[in-house]
Structure 1
Amino acid sequence: MSNVTRLRHALPMSEDISTALTDLDSAIAKAIDAAKVAGLPQGLIVSLLHGRAHNETANMTGITF
């Protein structure tokens, strides 16, 4: 886990990190809005986001399934 950075220890954050976080948040919000407009059930949207977060957490901590 040496490649994981705790943001609270990296403060103040660089402009690159701040921009990346803003872009990521914007992209997620746009994707959620598009999914809603397309008629995906809210539960499916939530489950997909939860699954992706679970997968990324496992990748960061080195857990394999």
Structure 2
Amino acid sequence: MSKVIRLRHALPLGPDINASVSALDKAIADAVDAAKAAGLPQGLIVGLLHGHAHAQTFQMVKQQE
């Protein structure tokens, strides 16, 4: 797992990383708001987000092997 960066060791974060994190956060918040407005149950929204988090974690771990 040599490509994994621990953020506490990389602080302060550069402006490009801060901008990317802000953009990602806004995109997720906008998507959740749109899903709520469309009437999706909150549990389904949470389940989908949780599933994507697990899938991304699996991909990161698998790439490091």
Q: Give the structure-2-normalised TM-score.
A: 0.90
CA distance in 2, matches of 1:30, 1:2: 33
- Aligned residue-pair number: 63
Q: State the AA in 2 paired with 1:22.
A: S
Q: Considering Cα pairs closer than 8 Å and 6+ residues apart, tell me whether 1 or 2 has the greater RCO.
A: 2
Once the two structures are superposed, residues 19-52 of structure 1 have per-residue CA deviations (whole angstroms, 9 ceiling, x without a partner) of 0000000000000000000000111000000000
Match of 2:55 in 1: 55
Match of 1:25 in 2: 25
**Backbone CA RMSD of aligned residues:** 1.2
1:46 lines up with 2:46 in the alignment = yes
Q: Give the structure-1-normalised TM-score.
A: 0.90
Task: Return 5+ residue gaps in structure 1 as ranges.
Answer: none
% identical aligned pairs: 62
